[in-house]
Amino acid sequence: MTAQRAAESELPQAQSTTGSCCGGSCHSEDAAATPAGDAVTTVYRVSGMTCGHCEGAVRSELSDLPGVQSVEATAATGEVTVVSKAPLDEEAVRAAVDEAGYELTGRA
């Protein structure tokens, strides 16, 4: 039981190091994980995002597209930065943003 208690006491400590209310489980840390090499970075403009929940919805839908390596959405600017293995089909990006409940207005 001592080992279990020690493991439980480490869990909150590990979560608190992220500086997040949820231990980082719903937040993107894509900037730190941006891959090197032949990755393609594209910045899109998305209208309708107003908060972190909006950012998460867009990030989640775009992350499901094949080849996407990271997504960073910023409601304040309406910009979404996508890093992918190859250029993405813009209609697929538009459909993913639409599925999240927002509108792709073009590239930044």
Tens-digit pLDDT profile for residues 47-84: 999 999 999 999 999 999 999 999 999 999 999 999 99
Number of domains in the chain: 2
Rounded to 10 deg, the angle between the 52-63 and 90-100 helix axes is 140
SS3 97: helix
Rg over alpha carbons for the chain, rounded to the nearest Å, is 17
Do 10 and 47 lie in a common domain?
no
pLDDT tens digits, one per residue of 93-106: 999 999 999 999 99
The span from the CA of 96 to the CA of 20, in Å, is: 27
pLDDT for 28 beyond 60: no
Contact 68, 38 (CB under 8 A): no
pLDDT tens digits, one per residue of 12-26: 333 333 333 333 434
CATH number, domain containing residue 50: 3.30.70.100
Q: What's the confidence (pLDDT) of residue 38?
A: 87
Q: Which domain holds residue 85?
A: 31-107
pTM: 0.67
Do 19 and 36 lie in a common domain?
no
